[in-house]
Amino acid sequence: MEPIKVDFSDKGNSGNSKGSGKNAYVVPAKSGLKVLISIIITVIGALVAYYFMLPPLNFKSTEFYMYLGIVAVIFIASVALLSGMLFRPEYTEYVKKKSIVPIIFIGVLIAVVAVGMLISSVVFRAGSYNKIIGVDESKTFASDIKEADFQSVPVLDNEAAAALANRSLGDLASINMVSQFELSTQFTQINYKNSPVRVTTLAYGDIFKWFKNTRTGFPGYIVVNMVTQKSELVMLDKGNYMRYSTAEHFGKYLMRHVRFAYPTYIFDTPHFEIDEAGQPYWICPVLDKTIGLFGGTDVKGVVLVNAITGESEEYTIEDVKTNKDLQWLDVIYSTNLLVEQYNYHGRYINGFINSVIGQEGVKVATEGSNFLAMNDDVYMYTGVTSAGSDQAIIGFVLVNMRTKDANFYTVSGAKEYSAAASAEGAVQDYKYTATFPILLNISGQPTYFMSLKDSSSLVKRYAMVNVQNYQVVVTGETIAKCTEAYAEQLRQNNINIKIDLEQIKHDTDNLSSGDNEKEPEVKVMKAKGKIVDIRTAVINGNSVYFIKLDSSKKYFTIVASEVQNVVILNVGDSVTIEYNEAAGDVIKANSYYKSNVD
């Protein structure tokens, strides 16, 4: 239908138009129906946007205001498209009139967010930000921090743990799921059976593998012992695979699952943990804004989601601290949140203006952090430096990641990355890289301890750097040798320490052999024969060879990055394969050598 032309002069107007004179505008045909359709489109768009954005329906969340703004924009766009304004400019005034209410609504949203940020600003609320975390500064390093027990000191970082975990994926061959899954990038350090470990879940290799496996879920999870450097793929019972994960999609996507169950909650990034029985859970910390409308982020509770069944339970932060049944929980407060809160505490100790001008008493966390296992809890460690310092720390802070109890210890010395650079310099010919330092008490001496990794992220040596006298830098092939060299270096600098080298050697030798629990010795077997079949698969970037001999029905797996000359084997070659005694049709080989087979 052709639009009725309107005379915009003061001589009057008639027909399908609104207003008079210069304020008149053209109304498209069936405008009422088109507005109704626009409302329906907006409702559908709002539901779709909610399904994918998953905003908390909470006035303390900026995501909520963004979501409402998007809904208003959907209505405006629907009115514009249905009216035909893109092709008929004469409908522009009509669209503007219909958009007044949503535009005002968007303006109100912007105003609320602006005012909320203003009343939450550190400029006006510096005192509240300073008190967001309580820090005990009365304790001393030598008296409060126990001497290092190397049976509980982690020697791996996240990168090294991931390298070990990748190798465990080959165990999926025992259930014919080789190459179906890859490693999740999210690791959580926890205490499991009195030992520091990092745990992670699996992810689907690609969308096609998701289609194939999503009905059954993830068959297990990986545990990497941070002390013994042993990695294990823990297989779940068939029929009880993990069905809810951050790597899933649609209804089994973890954040969508908890959002529909708790629509008003503001969640921190969920992470994976296991209880002492090995039951897998997703830990979803519930956040609150404690300062103004948007400021002072803190944890007020936690939602535990059973990774197998999807069942969830909600607990307050007080429950976590006092309920003995929840003692297995290790990480409630994330590293980023704890560092942020400590920086608020240290930066605004004397108000906002002092944090910018003068900076008296101002201190902040250094770059980077690590974890320590103490008293069956996990503590976040980070160095602390004054506002104007570039290379030195004035102390360090330990924060319990379950309870947020924080202690500051006064220790002056080198920053962590400076110590790591010194350790790398001591082995520069090997081009090893150092893990982020852990601060240990070695006979009363604050000492940075690091592992030195090669290009494959495998630990090759260990290093110790004295915090206060960082010219004392030693490395060793074992922890015992490193400690012995460290004691000698300190003696040369007129610092005598008492250490039991025999005990350290005993403890660390047991750890390196994985003999903490006196496990039975694994019997090494040999299989001789001619190769009748060779198959290959790429698992997380590693080429894995599956070899079958004429003398056995089993396939033996060899990773090319571990045994490089496996690539030259051919069908018909006579070989002897060594492997640990194990059940199954696919067994990981330790090594092989060519041999004559009669």
Residues 558-572: tens digit of each pLDDT: 887 667 678 888 998
| Alpha-carbon distances of 267 from 33, 283, 336, 412, rounded to whole Å | 41, 10, 14, 37
Q: What is the largest CA-CA distance in the chain?
A: 113
pLDDT at 103: 94
Amino acid at 396: F
Span 66-90, mean pLDDT?
Answer: 86
Last residue of a domain, one of 477, 512, 547: 512
Within 8 A by CB and 6+ apart from 387, the residues are: 347, 355, 359, 362, 363, 364
Alpha-carbon gap, residue 457 to 150, rounded angstroms: 21
- Give the chain's mean pLDDT: 86
What is the side-by-side strand order in the sheet with 220-225? Answer: 188-191, 196-200, 220-225, 231-235
Does the residue 503 lie in any domain?
A: yes
pLDDT at 510: 58
Within 8 A by CB and 6+ apart from 353, the residues are: none
* 562 closest CA partner among 580, 545, 577, 576: 545
Between 282 and 506, the higher pLDDT residue: 282
Produce one character per residue of 132-153: b if its CB has 16 or more CB atoms within 10 Å, e if not.
bbeeeeeeebeeebeebebebb
Alpha-carbon gap, residue 455 to 463, rounded angstroms: 17
Helix (H) or strand (E) holding 234: strand 231-235
pLDDT at 32: 79
CATH code for the domain in which residue 565 is found:
2.40.50.1010
Nearest 10 degrees: CA dihedral of 473, 474, 479, 481?
-150
- Chain-centroid distance of CA 209 in Å reads 24
Helix, strand, or coil here: 146?
A: coil
The answer to whether residues 324 and 182 belong to one domain is yes
Q: pLDDT for 246-260, tens place per residue?
A: 999 999 999 999 999
Last residue of a domain, one of 512, 537, 569: 512
Q: Which letter does DSSP use for residue 270 in this model?
A: P
Between 391 and 369, the higher pLDDT residue: 369
For 132, the token pair is 């967001």
For residue 502, pLDDT over 70 is answered with yes
The answer to whether residues 302 and 190 belong to one domain is yes
Does the residue 152 lie in any domain?
A: no
The answer to whether residues 549 and 456 belong to one domain is no
Indicate if the alpha-carbon torsion angle 223, 152, 426, 562 is positive or negative.
Answer: negative
Produce one character per residue of 316-353: b if its CB has 16 or more CB atoms within 10 Å, e if not.
ebeebbeeeebbbbbbbbbbebbbbbbbbbbbbbbebe
For 326-337, give the secondary structure using H, E and C.
HCCCCCCCCHHH
Does the residue 350 lie in any domain?
A: no
Provide the pLDDT confidence category of residue 7 given band limits of 50, 70 and 90.
very low
Alpha-carbon gap, residue 131 to 129, rounded angstroms: 5
The answer to whether residues 386 and 294 belong to one domain is no
Provide the pLDDT confidence category of residue 109 given band limits of 50, 70 and 90.
very high
Provide the pLDDT confidence category of residue 540 given band limits of 50, 70 and 90.
low
The answer to whether residues 503 and 529 belong to one domain is no
pLDDT at 24: 61
Q: pLDDT for 307-355, tens place per residue?
A: 999 999 999 999 999 999 999 999 999 999 999 999 999 999 999 999 8
Span 21-45, mean pLDDT?
Answer: 79
Structural domain that includes position 565? 524-594
For residue 597, pLDDT over 70 is answered with no
The answer to whether residues 196 and 318 belong to one domain is yes
Does the residue 188 lie in any domain?
A: yes
Provide the pLDDT confidence category of residue 458 given band limits of 50, 70 and 90.
confident
> Burial level of 365, CB count in 10 A (0-12/13-18/19+)?
buried
Q: Are the C-beta atoms of residues 224 and 161 closer than 8 Å to each other?
A: yes
Does the residue 2 lie in any domain?
A: no
Write the Ramachandran bin of 217: left for phi over 0, alpha for psi from -120 to 50, otherwise beta. Answer: left
Neighbours of 263 (CB within 10 A): 13
The answer to whether residues 212 and 239 belong to one domain is yes
| 415 φ/ψ angles, rounded to the nearest 5 degrees | -70, 160
Q: pLDDT for 381-425, tens place per residue?
A: 999 998 876 678 999 999 999 999 999 999 888 889 989 998 998
Q: pLDDT for 267-307, tens place per residue?
A: 999 999 999 999 999 999 999 999 999 999 999 999 999 99
pLDDT at 31: 75
| Alpha-carbon distances of 524 from 117, 173, 204, 240, 590, rounded to whole Å | 65, 20, 34, 33, 9
For 352, the token pair is 């906002």
Does the residue 317 lie in any domain?
A: yes
Residue corresponding to tokens 């138009």: 17
pLDDT at 18: 64
Residue corresponding to tokens 């005012």: 115
* 215 closest CA partner among 223, 204, 201: 204
Provide the pLDDT confidence category of residue 11 given band limits of 50, 70 and 90.
very low
Does the residue 446 lie in any domain?
A: yes
Span 163-171, mean pLDDT?
Answer: 84
pLDDT at 16: 61
The answer to whether residues 381 and 416 belong to one domain is yes
pLDDT at 285: 97
Helix, strand, or coil here: 153?
A: coil
pLDDT at 5: 47
Q: pLDDT for 86-102, tens place per residue?
A: 777 777 787 788 889 99
Does the residue 175 lie in any domain?
A: yes
The answer to whether residues 459 and 559 belong to one domain is no
Alpha-carbon gap, residue 542 to 127, rounded angstroms: 53
The answer to whether residues 556 and 457 belong to one domain is no
Alpha-carbon gap, residue 95 to 101, rounded angstroms: 11
Alpha-carbon gap, residue 398 to 338, rounded angstroms: 10
The answer to whether residues 444 and 590 belong to one domain is no
Alpha-carbon gap, residue 117 to 509, rounded angstroms: 56
Highest averaged pLDDT of the listed ranges 223-227, 267-271, 505-509: 267-271
pLDDT at 518: 39
Domain count, the chain: 4
Span 127-150, mean pLDDT?
Answer: 89
The answer to whether residues 548 and 481 belong to one domain is no
| 94 φ/ψ angles, rounded to the nearest 5 degrees | -60, -45
Provide the pLDDT confidence category of residue 1 given band limits of 50, 70 and 90.
very low
Helix, strand, or coil here: 66?
A: helix
DSSP 357-385: TT-TT-EEE-S--EEEEETTEEEEEEEEE
Alpha-carbon gap, residue 229 to 459, rounded angstroms: 9
Last residue of a domain, one of 487, 512, 537: 512
Indicate if the alpha-carbon torsion angle 52, 56, 61, 64 is positive or negative.
Answer: positive
Within 8 A by CB and 6+ apart from 310, the residues are: 243, 244, 252, 257
Highest averaged pLDDT of the listed ranges 43-47, 358-362, 479-483, 581-585: 43-47
For 255, the token pair is 């954040």
